[in-house]
């Protein structure tokens, strides 16, 4: 209860172990702290915390409007709900290299296992949209160097994301990935790869773990874990998947209530009261106070 029993330091060691395991590690995106518990319960390796989800959850587009304080606070709330390592999207690092340094320390304080920092210009946009732009090599590597120098826990994972593929092509992405590793990146997130061969090309260019972004409605096909394994991907994220499905369900339910005058037809699709209480570990709080969980919840509803 209350929740994570694992320290941030242990989670960072775990993340490094996972990335060195040789098999693809699946990190679904949590859209709130409770969904992180679900991700852990279903046996996933870790939790991803998406910048798009954090922005959209606040009703904002994902164009760099969220602040470091908002992201660190929400990411910390999510990370503390799970024993799994959490990787957070730190967008462009929230400013100049000195701001990036501050970002890393705040994310360490918030209990994250690592983050990724991208080479887009501000205002940034979803990596799968057209019309984005990237900063020059010097600026991109300075961000990563500042991040690597700022961390106090050497196991806090600094992942460099490059968006250059969609701007200057695959060769440029390979060159930039190598330069970002030289600047101190522990892992590479090559954004908007078009096919499996492109992942393979990045794999061959660098000898650090690489991430595949399986976001829906984007530029990449939705490859399976087996396909990603074959091209040497180490980690796959499903960043916005749970938010999209939850909001889809919310929309359908509102339509049902409006049309039918009752939510009855949607009740079978809901997490039951009993299941919800199980997820928040209601019963465990009885250890503190035996009066807290002294009621019956009908099992089926
Ligand atoms: C991974 C990503 O950076 C995110 O914020 O989750 C987004 C996801 C998306 O917008 O679908 C991205 O830029 O790919
Ligand atoms: Mg993002």
12 lines ligand 1 (CB under 6 A): no
8-241 classified as CATH 3.40.190.150: no
ipTM, two decimals, is 0.99
Marked catalytic residue, from 40, 108, 118, 198:
118
Q: Residue 3, preceding bond cis, omega within 30 degrees?
A: yes
* pLDDT computed for residue 299 by the predictor: 58
* Domain boundaries defined on the chain: 8-241, 247-287
Q: Which of 222, 226, 183 is nearest to 206 (CA)?
A: 183
pLDDT beneath 70: ranges in the chain: 298-301
pLDDT at 236: 98
This model's pTM is above 0.90 = yes
Is residue 112 a contact partner of residue 140, using CB atoms and an 8 Å limit? no
- The pLDDT, as a whole number, for residue 298 is 65
Contact 125, 91 (CB under 8 A): no
Q: Whose CA is nearest to atom 14 of ligand 1?
A: 127
pLDDT at position 18 is 98
The predicted structure's pLDDT at residue 160 = 98
Q: What is the pLDDT of residue 250?
A: 97
Instruction: Confirm or reject: Cβ of 162 under 6 Å from ligand 1.
Output: no
User: Contact, 142 vs 97, CB < 8 A?
Assistant: yes
- Give the model's pLDDT for residue 52: 98
Strand segments, DSSP code E, in the chain are: 25-28, 47-49, 86-89, 114-118, 157-162, 187-190, 211-213, 235-238
Each residue's pLDDT tens digit, 188-211? 999 999 999 999 999 999 999 999
């Amino acid at each position: 209860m209350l929740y994570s029993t694992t320290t941030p330091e242990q989670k960072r060691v775990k993340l490094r172990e996972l990335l060195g395991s040789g098999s693809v590690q699946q990190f679904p995106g949590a859209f709130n702290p409770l969904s992180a518990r679900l991700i852990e319960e279903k046996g996933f390796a870790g939790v991803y915390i998406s910048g798009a989800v954090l922005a959209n959850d606040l009703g904002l587009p994902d164009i760099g409007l969220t602040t470091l304080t908002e992201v660190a606070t929400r990411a910390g709330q999510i990370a503390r709900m799970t024993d799994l390592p959490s990787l957070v999207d730190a967008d462009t690092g929230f400013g100049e290299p000195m701001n990036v340094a501050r970002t890393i320390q705040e994310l360490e304080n918030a209990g994250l296992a690592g983050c990724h920092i991208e080479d887009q210009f501000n205002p940034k946009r979803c990596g799968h949209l057209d019309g984005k732009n990237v900063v020059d090599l010097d600026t991109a590597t300075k961000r990563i160097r500042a991040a690597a120098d700022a961390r106090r826990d050497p196991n806090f994972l600094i992942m460099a994301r490059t968006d250059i593929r969609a701007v200057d092509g695959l060769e440029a992405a390979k060159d930039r990935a190598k330069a970002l590793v030289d600047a101190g990146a522990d892992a590479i997130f090559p954004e908007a790869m078009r096919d499996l061969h492109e992942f393979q090309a990045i794999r061959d260019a660098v000898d650090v773990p690489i991430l595949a972004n399986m976001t829906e409605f984007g530029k990449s096909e939705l490859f399976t874990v087996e396909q990603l394994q074959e091209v040497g991907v180490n980690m796959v994220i499903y960043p916005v998947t749970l938010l999209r499905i939850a909001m889809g369900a919310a929309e359908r339910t509102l339509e049902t209530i409006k049309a039918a005058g009752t939510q009855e037809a949607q009740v079978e699709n809901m997490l039951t009261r009993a299941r919800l209480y199980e997820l928040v570990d209601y019963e465990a709080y009885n250890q503190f106070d035996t009066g807290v969980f002294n009621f019956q919840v009908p099992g089926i509803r």
